[in-house]
Structure 1
Amino acid sequence: MDIVRLGGVASLVFVLSACSWFADPEKLFAQAQQAYADANYREARVRLQALLEQAPRRADAHYLLAKSYLATGKPGSALEAVTTAVGLGFSPETARMTRARALLAVGQPDAVVEFLPTAAELERTDQGEALLLLGHAQARLQLWESATSSYSAAAGFEQLAVEAWLALGRMHLSRNDLEGAQDYLRKAAGKAPEDRRVQLLAGDLALAEDHPKMARQAFSSILTTEYEERAATGLIQAMLAEGDIEAASTEVDRLAERFPQTVQSSFFRAVIAKAAGDYESAIKHASQVYQSQPDFVPGLLIMGEAHLEQGYTSVAGQYLEQAYQIDPDNLHVRLQLARVRERVGEVEGIIELLEPLPVDAEAIAPRLLLALAYRKAGETDAAAAVAAELESFTPEHAGATAVVAELALERADFKKAQELLEAALEENPGSDRLVFLLGKALFAREDTDAAILAWERLLLDTPDHLQARRGLVSAYLQEGRHTDVEEHLRVLLRERSEDVGLRVLLGDVLRQQGKLDSALAVYDEAYAKNPTGEIAVKRYQVQQAAGDESASRTLERHLQQHPKDDRVRTLLAQVYQAAGWVERSIDEYEQVRARHPDQPLVLNNLAWLYHQSGDQRAQALAEKALKLAPDSPEVADTLGRIWMAAGHIERALPLLEKAWSARPENPEIGYSASLAYIEAGKPEKARVILGELLSSGKPFPSRKEAEALRAGL
């Protein structure tokens, strides 16, 4: 009974409280107007909602409610309320600005441009605020000339000049026109130097101009009078740009305390964790951002980068593809997505992403990836052109030097790479990347001791430099220190169990020691975490070395999940070809050729398979391959054999002689040259070549045929 009575009392209190709202509608409206004037927008909403329960058709109440919704960050509700107000007879002219602001806030700038009069009409009728709003909508739509015209007209109104100049400054900043942004900032600062909006633009512009100290001062000056989220986030960015991680972390904690609902604190914690190499924490914090703002590109970028660094390529690709769909012009998104495509072997995808980018200091890393992609696609001239473009940035620019040096290493021009790197290190002595590459060049020039010294010194300063550890492992292996290398890698894996790269490296070491079962087990673990083509190939190679006849199934299963991995598909085609499975090999090569029509290796091998099958397409393919790779002995051998079989010995013999001269260690090419000499009526030359081939005792596919040919001479 007590509970019932208490419930009744509570209900009675509730009813009485509710009844108190049934006051005079005019009084409620007056109270709402006062609350709105006092910037107490939430109270205004409560009063108006109570009024509209009694008088749902009051247009003026719906209109004021729309303005209150807009002031409290609910543009969708504001748009609905202002539409209702106009429908109930409220003046469309009076409601125009509120409706336009709501449309812009819900992401419909095109509707704003269509809804508002032209800039000329607004200027003629002295509607300065509408001109500003129109300019904002045009800028969102990247109608730069129209936006400039609207903002400039708005600047003609004395009370709007500062706001218009700031809008013009921000527009120029968004287009990376820093000089134009600086001009408008000066105008605004000349009229209102203490205006916080001026200080905000000054801070943002300083960051864009790589002046973090100036940016820090600008944002700090705002926060001395009032702590606001926008200035705080700018300050944190400036601190991070200065490398002051400790101060940035402290400011992030302060931001989280003052604004517990903001996701900015989680985002900056993710940035700081990523910078420290703590990718698990970076993912944890960035996930909180993603849950709240799934279309926030910087958050998606961190998720992608952190997963990529941990070896989770497919997961990284999902986040980065989403970021690319939202902001396809973002250089960093393109670069990270290109790294994903590089790992899964999608060469054409890398070229598609990076080819349109300009050549400047900001695009060094993308140009490196682009050059390497060109090389993998067989487009050597394009790769060389990229290297030539980037040489203008050496040796002062460490990144450019690294690009050109890596391309020199790819071309086996180790001396040039060493010279470039030594010159660049005089300008950039603290560059880890240059030191690593120098070690690589020295190692390639067989100066193993100097390479080891470079890498060991690098690891003293940067113990987590994985590539340097890989280099040292290679150097130590060359000296036969297998046990030490294996032990070192296992210790590292206990500390970084999720590091797929280290696991693959351990598999490589075990494989070089002949511990094939252990190597395969390690590769299997790595592939389960990150199913890339590189690891699939390593698994296949170990299985093949162990005599596993089903090794090709490893490649087949990988291609079922990654059908565009053409590196693996080409290898599978070669496996089928070596096994004598002509039709299956042709099918795999043709799939690769469909995506890479100018790949000499694929064209050459297809030509030989078609020749073996009696297919007339063989000659055209071999001729195209030779045109693309005129110095390739293997291609010359293929076309020579095809011409010889067609009875064109006069065309075949020069090719086969050239091929044998370039590849005297290749018995198959020697056998082809012997056949040509016999066909040309020069058996004595064939006898000499066959004697060399057979006396070596080296096995090759045509050895029995060569023995029979030699016996008949």
Structure 2
Amino acid sequence: MLKIRTLMVSCVLGAMLLTTAGCDFLVSPEQRYERAQSAVAEGDYRRALVELKNALQKDPDLLEARALLAEVALWLGDPTNAEAELNKLPKPAGADPHLELRVRIDLALGRFAPALEKLSAASSDQIKPARADLYRGFALQGLGRTAEAQQAFRASAAADSTLIDAQVGIVDTLAAQGDAPGALALATQLTEQHPQSALAWYSQGAILARASKTEEAEKALLRAKGLAEKQLEATRQVSLLSTLIEMQLVARHIDAARTNLDAMNRVAAGSPLAALMSARVSMATNDYLAAASSLRRLVNAAPQFTQARYLLGVTLVAQGNLEQASQELSQVVQQAPQNLEARQLLAQVRMRLQDPDGALRVLVPAIETNADDSRLTNLFEGARVAAGADKQTIETLEKALNDAPNSRGLQIQLAGAYLQAGAADKAVALLRRGESDPKIDPRREALLIQAISVAQGPAAARTQVQTLLNKYGTEPAAVGIAAGFYARAGELDKGRALLNDALAKNPKQPELLFALARVEWTARRADAARAALQRLIDLDPNNTGAQLAMVEVELAQGNQAGATSRLEALHKANPKAVEPPMMLARMALAKDDAKRADEFINAAVQASSKRGDVLNAAGLLYLESGRFDQAQAMFKDGTASDAGNPLLWLNLGRAQLGLNQRGPARESLEKALILQPEWLPAIGALAFLEVQEGNGSAALSRIEALKQTRPNNPQLLALEGEVYTVLQKYPEASQAYEAAAAIRPAPELATKIFQVRSAGKLPNALEPLERWSREHPDDLSFRALLADAYIKSGEAKQAIAQYEQIVQRQPKHVPSLNNLAWLYHEQRDPRALATARQAHQLAPKVPAIMDTLGWILVDSGQAAEGLPLLEQAAAATSASADIKYHYAAALARTGAKAQAREQLTQLLAGQSTFDNRAAAQRLLTELGGQE
């Protein structure tokens, strides 16, 4: 009985299972196809996918199921498989009944031209006219033909007013053509007319996001998300969620961003965009290790995903992996030459790697103002005022001066505004009104010399300087102004002599000592600058300016401990002072100690009660170290506390560009221009943004329009040269730079002329460098640049002559000694070893210096002394691939072939490009043959 009962129970259970979905094997392929159709109607495409695959597994010839499977695959964001399924269908004898689906697949795969060809051949029976115009709009939009795309979208909307995709296409093309108000108005109208449309809300949210209306954008995008699951195909859902996550990161809604990242992974787990947004969330929380790991996997899987590689470079910079960051960012620049943020960050990385020539080869966008930069140039040469002036400000000052014509303060302010606006002749005429004053006004005299130099040339400015000295004699302010002028003109000995003569009569004058320190620093005489500052500090230990300048000298000479100690003492003595904690933060970021940097920055911000200028300086620190999220947060706080400050809006735009938030960046930069019309830094940033978006003609038109009112503005001409350089129009770039240099000669312009002539293979590339060095013999840093250019041109003897002149004037100039030793060695000059030892004695822990000495020793038969130096150099974290190659080659020469093979194998596996890669490969092959 027991057996019978058990059997009966089993039969009952079996019968029950056969009548439920658990025993689905009795369902026919046709029934599964019908289920799939119902699932599609309900918006459940994943269930439909399962049903269709099961149906086709049993009946591969169920053609209607295969066609529907292609539709479902396309909806789920897999156009490749959609096309594969469609291609399995028999070719029709007549018109293709699946032509519309094939067009949609082309669009999804970015095949815009083939899509247009199919549409031109399609009949109205195959694709309804309204939908044909819609697809035509998408294809034209993909090809960058925005105006034509808008016409197609309008035709589609006119033929079928219920087609929301066409309306959204009009919104997108309006925004692309710069009509942001019109785009937003139409998008808002769509949400009002179709409040249950996910696409309408997504369109409005995207436009609001471009306009930096973060809170409103987030609300609209959340509405879209709530409706999207059954309305938007997977690709659009992922795009919607990525925009929403980016907005939430901007608003610092980190938990909400994580929630939507989870939602994105449910829609498209493992997709490149999901991986990218995961890294963005990690970056926003300072988890750069996790971000780098995720981005590395993504870049390995998709090498052409430029945005992922760029963000990988950003995370590597934030972690301090500068060599790897340099490699990744170099590839970004190769893949996307118009990505100017990548170029700027790459230049900063190369400078940190002590590769100034590499930095010079990278085009750095002309969008920096240096108005609040506290680096050496500002401490020792003074701040440079940003180009341009607000017309309304000038009008206000003119009216005020008219009411109070004898106000020297108003005269100086108005003259400064004239000078900024390019009206130097007006500035000169205004400032000359005060020449009869018996008492010196340093601000007026310095500004007058500057204005005369611009309006009448250096010779007239020199005459004015002599007039100043004749009138005021050894007055400290007059001597300081004159010495500064001579130093900037390259006549350092004349400026130094003038100050020393004045100090002989008044040895305790602080202003003279500080001016002497600036001149000595300009001459690259760090010890002399230190001595002048120390004299000043001995006289006045509470002189904060002198203390901070001394910190810069300590840093320049590699005395990190001394600089830190001095700054910490200043911070302790005056916790409300902003400069010491900001400098400590800069030093912490240089060591990639983000936590310590954050502490100092927060201390400075709190001490200043969140002043706009301090928030701007803090943002710049983060910006320079590649921490764009933190920079953006600082600049946004700054614009909230000082909404009328154009500099904060400019820098907010720069941070947004760093995060590829082009829409918000454009809005921020345009806000800066509203506050300060015709402001060159903001115009330059917008011009480069247009170049980056592939609209070089718009960038040039923007500059040409400004040239109508400022035809002889050297900064504008230099900006024009920058844009032409990015567009690889080298003859035009050279012409623009030459025009700028003719008006106001500068070493930077000479360098840029050389670079574009070299890049464009134009004649006389070296001439601007040679001319500047002849006219400014004391400019040793520029002479070093000329020497390096000679090396790259194969003119080693001329390079040696330049380095010898530098060392003659500055015997302890380590980079020149090191390069000179290497050139001597290549020329088989017996002075090579002694010169290398001299450089090593001055900088015994620098890998490049150890490498030079070590290699010369090994190459000259003194391997016992040279090999340990090369080993130590190769073990340094900042060691280049070429240094590691020298170490491996030295091992091979000394018989340690197995160890050499190991080093070479690791080097070639980890470094894709370096100067000695071919030699390293050959050596590894030779060593392998000797095993």
Matched with 2:577 is 397
Cα distance in 1 for residues equivalent to 2:902 and 2:550: 47
- For the pair 1:270 / 2:422, whether they are aligned, the reply is no
**Partner residue of 1:356 out of 532, 537, 556:** 532
Q: Which moved more, 1:302-311 or 1:633-642?
A: 302-311
Matched with 2:660 is 479
* Correspondence list, 1:63-102, <5 A: none
Matched with 1:628 is 842
* Correspondence list, 1:195-206, <5 A: none
* Correspondence list, 1:269-308, <5 A: 269-274=410-415, 280=424, 281-290=426-435, 299-304=444-449
Q: CA shift at 1:659, angstroms?
A: 2.0
Matched with 1:653 is 867
- For the pair 1:451 / 2:634, whether they are aligned, the reply is no
Change in CA separation of 1:294 and 1:514 when aligned onto 2, cut-off 3 Å:
farther
Cα distance in 1 for residues equivalent to 2:707 and 2:572: 41
Cα distance in 2 for residues equivalent to 1:462 and 1:335: 35
Matched with 1:214 is none
Greater Rg by CA: 1
What is the CA deviation profile of residues 304-361 of structure 1, one whole-angstrom value per residue up to 9, with x for unaligned ones? 4657999989977875687579566736974896598579797444766785253469
Q: CA shift at 1:283, angstroms?
A: 3.1
Q: CA shift at 1:640, angstroms?
A: 0.5
Q: CA shift at 1:421, angstroms?
A: 3.3
* Correspondence list, 1:527-676, <5 A: 527-548=741-762, 550-662=764-876, 666-676=880-890
Change in CA separation of 1:298 and 1:677 when aligned onto 2, cut-off 3 Å:
closer
- For the pair 1:425 / 2:605, whether they are aligned, the reply is yes
Cα distance in 1 for residues equivalent to 2:657 and 2:487: 32
Contact 2:817 2:839 in 1 (8 A): yes
Contact 2:415 2:431 in 1 (8 A): no
Change in CA separation of 1:471 and 1:313 when aligned onto 2, cut-off 3 Å:
farther
Cα distance in 1 for residues equivalent to 2:407 and 2:764: 49
Q: CA shift at 1:455, angstroms?
A: 3.8
- For the pair 1:469 / 2:615, whether they are aligned, the reply is no
Cα distance in 1 for residues equivalent to 2:659 and 2:616: 18
Contact 1:300 1:322 in 2 (8 A): no
* Correspondence list, 1:168-207, <5 A: none
Report the secondary structure of 1:356's partner residue.
helix
Change in CA separation of 1:494 and 1:319 when aligned onto 2, cut-off 3 Å:
same
Contact 1:690 1:710 in 2 (8 A): yes
Change in CA separation of 1:512 and 1:633 when aligned onto 2, cut-off 3 Å:
farther
Q: CA shift at 1:385, angstroms?
A: 7.3
Change in CA separation of 1:530 and 1:392 when aligned onto 2, cut-off 3 Å:
farther
Change in CA separation of 1:365 and 1:473 when aligned onto 2, cut-off 3 Å:
farther
Paired letter, 2:650: R
Paired letter, 1:541: Q
Report the secondary structure of 2:811's partner residue.
coil
Cα distance in 1 for residues equivalent to 2:558 and 2:606: 34
What is the CA deviation profile of residues 338-395 of structure 1, one whole-angstrom value per residue up to 9, with x for unaligned ones? 5985797974447667852534699655665665567667787886677567545654
Cα RMSD of the aligned pairs, angstroms, is 4.9
Cα distance in 1 for residues equivalent to 2:604 and 2:598: 10
Cα distance in 1 for residues equivalent to 2:549 and 2:459: 19
Contact 1:290 1:299 in 2 (8 A): no
Cα distance in 1 for residues equivalent to 2:402 and 2:739: 39
Contact 1:270 1:286 in 2 (8 A): yes
Q: CA shift at 1:622, angstroms?
A: 1.6
Contact 1:555 1:572 in 2 (8 A): yes
Change in CA separation of 1:538 and 1:462 when aligned onto 2, cut-off 3 Å:
farther
Cα distance in 2 for residues equivalent to 1:310 and 1:404: 41
| Bigger RCO of structures 1 and 2 (CA < 8 A, at least 6 apart) | 2
TM-score (norm 2): 0.42
Q: CA shift at 1:410, angstroms?
A: 6.5
Change in CA separation of 1:413 and 1:293 when aligned onto 2, cut-off 3 Å:
farther
Matched with 2:622 is 442
What is the CA deviation profile of residues 227-273 of structure 1, one whole-angstrom value per residue up to 9, with x for unaligned ones? xxxxxxxxxxxxxxxxxx999999977886xxxxxxxx374443232
What is the CA deviation profile of residues 565-592 of structure 1, one whole-angstrom value per residue up to 9, with x for unaligned ones? 2222111111222333222111111222
Identical pairs, percent:
25
Q: Which moved more, 1:661-670 or 1:457-466?
A: 457-466
Q: CA shift at 1:634, angstroms?
A: 1.3
Cα distance in 2 for residues equivalent to 1:273 and 1:314: 25
Question: Is there any run of 5+ residues in structure 2 with no aligned partner, and where?
Answer: 1-393, 493-518, 663-687, 692-698
Cα distance in 2 for residues equivalent to 1:375 and 1:311: 39
Cα distance in 2 for residues equivalent to 1:707 and 1:597: 39
Q: CA shift at 1:598, angstroms?
A: 1.9
Change in CA separation of 1:544 and 1:518 when aligned onto 2, cut-off 3 Å:
same
Report the secondary structure of 1:712's partner residue.
helix
Q: CA shift at 1:606, angstroms?
A: 0.8
Report the secondary structure of 1:709's partner residue.
helix
Cα distance in 1 for residues equivalent to 2:586 and 2:473: 30
Cα distance in 1 for residues equivalent to 2:654 and 2:915: 36
What is the CA deviation profile of residues 492-518 of structure 1, one whole-angstrom value per residue up to 9, with x for unaligned ones? 777776665565456445544555455
Q: CA shift at 1:300, angstroms?
A: 1.9
Change in CA separation of 1:620 and 1:538 when aligned onto 2, cut-off 3 Å:
same
Question: Is there any run of 5+ residues in structure 1 with no aligned partner, and where?
Answer: 1-244, 257-264
